[in-house]
Every structure is written in C-alpha cells, then in structure tokens.
Amino acid sequence: MTLYVTRHGETAWNAENKVCGRTDVPLNDKGREQARALAEKLAGLNIHRILTSPLSRVRETAAIIAQKCPAPVQVEPRLIEQDYGILEGTDRLGEDCLNHKRMFAFRYPGGESMMQLAGRIYPLLDELQTRYRDESLLLVCHGGICRVIDSYFSDLTNDAFFHFSMPNAGLLTYTL
C-alpha cells in the first residue's frame, strides 16, 4: 500500500496563525490555488481512493484534487482535526497553546489530548493497511492529524513531534 497524506489548503485563520481545530473555516483563494497545484502534482499517480475529514476546508481541497485524480472521495470522520477546545480561534503561537501542545496526555481545556487523537488515528491506519493493502490512498486532512500519522510511521522524539509542521497542501508519502 502507498499512503499519501496531505493537509488542506490555506484558510483565513491559517494566514492569521489562529488555531482552527474543528471550527469549520473555509479555504481562502490562496488555499484553493494550493489545492489546484497539489492536484497537478498528484495527477500522474494511481490513487485508488481519497479519504477526507468532514470539515469543509478539507472536503473542498479533496474535491479540487479529485478533478485531476479521478478516484472516489469518501468522508472519514476519524480524520477530523483535534479538538482544541477553548483554544480554538486563539493565537497558535500563544503561550497557552504551546504549553498544551507540549503535554501529550493533557487535554486542551474542553477538547482532547494528543494521546486521545492518536487513539483514533492509529486504529484507522491499522484498518486501512488491512482493508486497502493493494491500493494507493490519499488522506486529505489537517496539520494535527498529519503529525500523528507521521508519528505512526516514524520514530519521533517528543521535541521532533512538538516541532513537526505540515504546510498547507504539503505532501507526505509512506510505502507499506
């Protein structure tokens, strides 16, 4: 199985360094352009299936990609971004946000912890490997989800996990 993983295109909140989380912020014009450029990059690959978060910024990114990669698109609820609770909409480089990001087992106030997030993403990845072992999949998701996916496939120190950053419309590839 080949697993391609991307983050949605840019939103206004991304441009403003705000925590998006589960707040359903749409793509901006730059985000749509990023998605079109990524679609061109992916066009020559034999992608069998595209799985997407239920949030609109991700579904729109996936729809743009699917115009060049004619694979079925299906919403996978477990790919929704981490719930950052009361920190949604705040400065993602703010002290509160950064302190919580360092504490993997600590829930964001009113949200979920990194460990809870991994608790839903790791079983999904196990399931995908079993169900689609002979296919190439594209997961269109969020920065926090990309971080956890990378930790599934790579040994990351706590510091590397903390500093992991996936650019909007960036692309990771894992071969299983």
Give me the active site residues, please: 8, 81
CA distance 75 to 12: 23
Q: What is the DSSP string of 110-161?
A: TS--HHHHHHHHHHHHHHHHHHTTTSEEEEEE-HHHHHHHHHHHS---HHHH
CA distance 82 to 146: 11
- Measured CA to CA in angstroms, residue 103 lies from 23, 58, 89, 123, 162 at distances of 22, 27, 20, 22, 9
